[in-house]
Amino acid sequence: MGTQPLRDDQAIMGSDALIVVDPQIDFCPGGRLAVAGGDEIMADIGALASRFRHVVVTQDWHPAGHLSFASCHPGRQPFDRISMPYGEQVLWPDHCIQGTAGAEFHPGVQGAIDRADLIIRKGCNPQVDSYSAFYENDQTTKTGLAGYLRDKQVRRCVFVGLAYDFCVAWSALDARREGFEAVVLKDHTRAIGMPLGDGTTIEEAEARFRAADVRFIGRVAWSPAAPDDRP
């Protein structure tokens, strides 16, 4: 059964993959890089995962002293932007450091972790940041996710998690680059919303979504899949 353009009442298909992006404690209120309301989506993501045959979770997994941390650049502050060999880089507070409590998954998303076929740790290279589930920020170093999804005969990637305008957005755009259909469930994400020009990083992300044919919807009320397509 082929996939069709996503509508709110469309069935989840066996060829869909749910990609849960960085559902970690440091990105939730009280964490080192908290996204407002990040904790509010975790239980819903955990429940949603049970409806998919294929579930992938990404985990930001930085070594201490990662060059994307503002603390590694004297005189710089979190959220400053600098030039790196691979392009512009936002400097972040130290976050999701390997082996720390903040790098762990939020307990509310445990249902998705239990359901996951694959957990991808990203941001491990101390010299290069990694927003996307598919590529490091140099846009050449692959995580291996695209090949895995092709082996599983996935056609459409459905994205949830944190943050909407950074790691979720870059992942969805790279899914299109790799030839997959891409959908972002806005009700299952939260955004940072940094100022950018006359707008914010949210508006920039959504403009890029439109240009790349990434579908982003605000509500989800999908029907169960047909019997031969159930997870």
Catalytic residue from among 16, 165, 167, 174: 167
The dihedral of CA 11, 213, 195, 199: what is its sign?
A: negative
Query: What is the phi/psi pair of residue 44, to 5°?
Result: -65, -35
d(CA 182, CA 173): 8
Write the DSSP symbol of residue 25. Answer: G
Rounded CA-CA distance 146/134 in Å is 7
Name the catalytic one among 16, 122, 129, 165: 122
Could you tell me if 192 and 153 are in contact, meaning their C-beta atoms sit under 8 angstroms apart? no
Q: What is the DSSP letter of 166?
A: I
Residue 72 appears among annotated catalytic residues: no
Active site residue 22: yes
Catalytically annotated residue among 22, 39, 60, 165: 22
Q: How many CA atoms lie within 13 A of 93 on its CB side?
A: 9
Active site residue 122: yes
Block residue for tokens 């990040």: 38
Give the residue numbers marked as catalytic: 22, 122, 167
